[in-house]
Structure 1
């Protein structure tokens, strides 16, 4: 087994590892004990749910509270935690606890898994990730439990606090709020400052990336010492959250926000902007959003969070690199500069590849679903963007999907979590590129 594993490339290890986790989760969810009706769940439905949980998406074929028993919910929660942190991070942490030797191959795979720039200090970073996760999820769970105990007993409040804290930090979007109204999510807390702020803080902290954690904890308030990656992530995150909230407030003031207090409108707008960054919760009816708001949400979902985080999407750095590249070309600049640094040509090529790959997947998926599903195209585009961005927001068409449509979304969620580029590279194997340059011939562009 060790020899077989060593023959795999690091990208292949990541792709196969997530596939095995999804398969195991599917088998557990198929058990009668996992379903409230006591019947075995069909494999396609179990596969869809396990993929959605492992890929921290949040799309569901049935309301989580009403469909799954506590056993099933715990399976989903375990898949969310493993999928959010990455199985390699958890594996390395247990290896540290058991005092096992962590070789260069495992360190390299962990580096690829969490998308870190250098391999040095990767084991220390794994410790920080696990301890930081425990701290943030623990504080979030305690605050949410304190709020929930006003409506339920402390025992249930603690369980709800833990579940929703992990789901929010891992940007998963699964919730247990469907007891009275299925698929309600946090609509009952749209104007609750504590619940909104805690959930949003967990989503943002989980979505900015582990590298940013490490950089900020090392340099604290010395912003000038932050790495270029950290500066791009923090500035872009702030702009997308605030800008998205302002536009949602503008688009929805006479729609879903009508009749709310000023506090409710502000919190709902901020929550809608934050959750679209791959979290999947909602405090207003997503299906009732205006077309402008749906397009804005699709845009935010497609960008997603940041590299090496619990979030999906093409990532904030990809978006910024391409913006800087286009801006430099429009101004006839030789180099792409930002924050006093020049972007590497490799980063530009990778960003372009990620964007084109994801756009191709979205286009193909929309065409397939539009041919199968009798649904408005806007809702189909919304669903597809939610799947590949591992967001989990939906206008309500998920539960009406055919088996083929579910499989298409399963593939999109899987690619969104492991990374479309990682998945493509895993098919390449060990074959090396032949170092031969062919003659150049110009072509006309534009």
Structure 2
């Protein structure tokens, strides 16, 4: 397993993250356990900020909270000078409860409800990223009723498809997101937004996909968005103050992944903006980006305890752990690949190829197919790398399995940032109707 950030093998032969021995973390917090390398999270955030500062452009780096949203993570994003993207009232509530400055919050989503819009306006967030004509009219109506003006970016699809899994490609023409540039919908959206009196049209938003390992897609997106901005200026005399070029910057999950350094992605974007937006307006637009996975993805490690195994001679050996698709649904959803190691025997030589199975009553609950490990024994600790993004965020209670705890580790200290769910949490929202009360069994 490739060691990211502060991860290393210590003198005891154990995996150590942020100066914390994971065997001791297991003893303190149990498993499954999400372990987040706080220093690596902060380092990634600073890499973005420093790269943009070197460009000389005005910018915002907005953390995409859908990747991993907790109160503590919102605090770190604030401390590192980031803005924040939210996509629901839950993500917005988390940010506000953490004390995140509302004026640096951007509200995304293709189906915002009136209640979510009201909540965001009450908080005085920085802007909405509008996704369709219904939303524009809804924003106008609600803002008019309140006597307010709303900052808006229009999400456009530039017709650029990133080279990623089809389920996470979002910039192509056939997408549920945004106004299409190629079929004329986008310019009609600009015309509409510019005429609505309670909307302040700041600019455009574009996102071309996820897990992108080259700059070509971003460069093409910048060129197409700039070409659209030029057409808007010529046809409608509307200028954009902000251009948001989204996220999608890749990370290394396995040996075959080849992400670029943060600075390379940023330089490609900023060089493209300087080249293609020159002369469209009096000054170059402010550039926003939205890294999520690349901030927290490789900072996360999930720790499991090995349980049972099943050896099918000549076919496969299954090794089961105490988690699975409930804490990491990505292999089932996207066929995502991961690397792993026996964290309590990190110095042992690999002996066999096994497949890591989860504990759910589901044949598809497989975390890793065919990974080389020392011969796993019941009670060993399995560490799976790069689980910081979209694992906790997408976790579920399938089979009524409790979601794991989350700890931040840094400089030899660990801090609990999300408690492990209790059995009472599992039934906490259940209600037994009066007509069924006598039939309800009580667990003591």
The structure whose residues are more often helix, as a share, is 1
The two structures share one fold, judged by TM-score above 0.5: no
TM-score bin, normalised by smaller chain: under 0.3
The structure whose residues are more often strand, as a share, is 2
